[in-house]
A and B are shown apart, each in its own frame.
Chain A
């Protein structure tokens, strides 16, 4: 393999220019892209998602975990990973506890369509305790 392109002579000036130029250019492009994306309003952004759940905090039980159930039929999984949904919901309602399939009497249902009532709630006759009108509902199972 040819090594013609390799520098034959040591040149600190060229090294300084290369590193300095590359660092400044990388930072400029990164800074520009970070600021350009700032203004976009995204309902799937973590802070927006957390804000949806925060009103639930005073309504959740203190001593008992609640089940978290998300409506897979109407959820945009590509925009927000299902695992991320639970973790963000947990983050929002800390120190109340949300779990998956723990068989709790309390169920938090999360849907991207506020107008759709999930089948599970209808079929099992859960009691609606709170509807936050943003797709988040709190139910209690009949004992």
Chain B
């Protein structure tokens, strides 16, 4: 069990150092620590699963030597990160809390979030108790492949034989699970469950902490509460579906890009990390490959529109630098193991054009997307629009909103990509929609909440605005009260000077 703990914690620790190094100028506060810890979980799992796969492909079935090398490498990276953090701690700038003093409603919101987290943990354990092997996708695809790879020894390539379906699916989850089992020396069902649940809570943590940094802590907590309340997301995580890790990587990719845009002196490391996360999304599911095209294209288009086209090649290079190692691993998997994909296999142009011209398919897909959105959101289908009306839209120069249009475009294009995959599917459309729409929507759920809550005004902003309008002075006993910021509210359009290129807020 000690080795198992080390196999989980050392990559996490190493990735924490890596994130800290890439995100050097960040404030040192609770939100930053949570954000780094959340991002580090995804990077740690992703890198360790890549290592396991590469060892399997290039050396053979991982044994004691693999364990020694694996742990040594991550321990060495972690130590480098620790040394860096020690030196950076003296040079870095300390930070204040987001608020000068904490109000009662803020404490209440934090308490509600903690209560929701506790309930979510209990629920995740309950789901495991009920379905220890997870649900269909877990035992039919992800864990089945992990079992084959783990049990087959030298014959592990049989797991990609012609009798199996979906052999082109990327291997982050199967490799990650097989790696954990190799440290445990057996295949307990709780190991994949633990990985899925960790990704679920890391997604909530990254969303809340990321919004905390971009907008305000209460905005982060509100978004985190909504994601926790979308119980389908929690359930799919505990069911060990790969859609939850993919949702994590999609969120992290766009969030890091937003943090880069929001920074006064943006560190290149944030873009490198964003690229790394996008690479991991492609290493998790084929849907992640779409992001590898969408995000750089969107970024380049927005820079060009802002008149900063000269900046685009440098930024794209930094982004590709992060994505390249993972892309190489994905390419190796596709070339060495994967067969053709069922969506593009044996398609003729005539069939594709016929489906494109069929209007009823568009209508069917649209209906299904709307229906499943309502099914997933449940009460939030009403509560979220109502809450959005109650909070209102943030004013343009609000901090952290720079880059919002890019994030929205990525979300819209990713959804459009899914839409056209359905329109052009060679499978029976009704069956395809019924078996996958909810999962695809859940992949975009955290990203959608990120975009929405960056766009909405924070409670602090609304309170401050109301106070300014009414001329009410701050009192200490009212629930609805203005909050004084450590940073003064921005009144003029906010500009960042970057390479002689003035970027107005979106």
A44 at the interface (CB under 8 A from B): no
What chain B residues lie within 8 Å of A38 (beta carbons)? 126, 129-130
**Contact residues, B334-363 vs A (CB, 8 A):** none
- The listed residue (B108, B116, B163) touching A27 by CB distance below 8 A is B116
B158 touches A97 (CB 8 A): yes
Which applies to chain A's interface (DSSP): helix, strand, loop or mixed? helix
By the criterion CB–CB under 8 Å, are B163 and A16 in contact?
Answer: no
Chain B residues near A75 (CB, 8 Å)?
A: none
Q: Which of A88-96, A118-126, A127-135 contacts B (4 or more CB under 8 A)?
A: A88-96
Q: Mark B367-386, 1 if CB is under 8 A from A, else 0.
A: 00000000000111001101
Given the contacts A18-B383, A47-B189, A95-B159, A31 and B126 also touching, CB distance less than 8 Å: yes
Interface size on B, residues (CB 8 A): 63
Q: What residues on A are CB-neighbors of B234 within 8 Å?
A: 27, 30
Taking a contact as CB atoms closer than 8 A, the residue among A28, A94, A102 that contacts B119 in the complex is A28
CB distance from B132 to the nearest CB of A (A): 5
Beyond A6-B389, A10-B390, A20-B109, whether A31 also contacts B457 by CB under 8 A is no
Interface pair B119/A27, CB less than 8 Å apart:
yes
The contact string, 1 if C-beta is below 8 Å from chain A, for chain B 133-146, is 10010011001100
- Please measure, in the bound complex, the distance between the C-alpha atom of A125 and the C-alpha atom of B136, giving whole angstroms: 35
> Please, which residues of chain A bring their CB within 8 A of the CB of B228?
23, 27
- The answer to whether B120 has its CB under 8 Å from any CB of chain A is yes
- Please judge, given known A-B contacts A12-B390, A46-B133, whether A34 and B143 are in contact too, CB under 8 Å: no
Could you say which residues of chain B place their CB within 8 Å of the CB of A2?
Answer: none
What would be 14 A-B contacts, judged by CB atoms less than 8 Å apart? A10-B392, A10-B457, A10-B465, A12-B391, A16-B109, A18-B386, A24-B112, A26-B378, A27-B123, A35-B126, A38-B126, A87-B136, A91-B143, A95-B151
Question: Which residues of A does B touch, CB under 8 Å?
Answer: 6-7, 10-16, 18-20, 22-28, 30-31, 34-35, 37-38, 45-47, 50, 65, 84, 87-88, 90-91, 94-95, 97, 99, 102
A-B complex: 6 closest residue pairs judged by Cβ atoms: A34-B126, A23-B229, A12-B459, A95-B152, A31-B123, A15-B390
B-side residues, CB < 8 A to A, are 105, 108-109, 112-113, 115-116, 119-120, 122-123, 126-127, 129-133, 136, 139-140, 143-144, 147-148, 151-152, 155-156, 158-159, 161, 163, 189, 218, 222, 225-226, 228-231, 234-235, 378-380, 383-384, 386-387, 389-392, 457, 459, 462-463, 465-466, 479-480
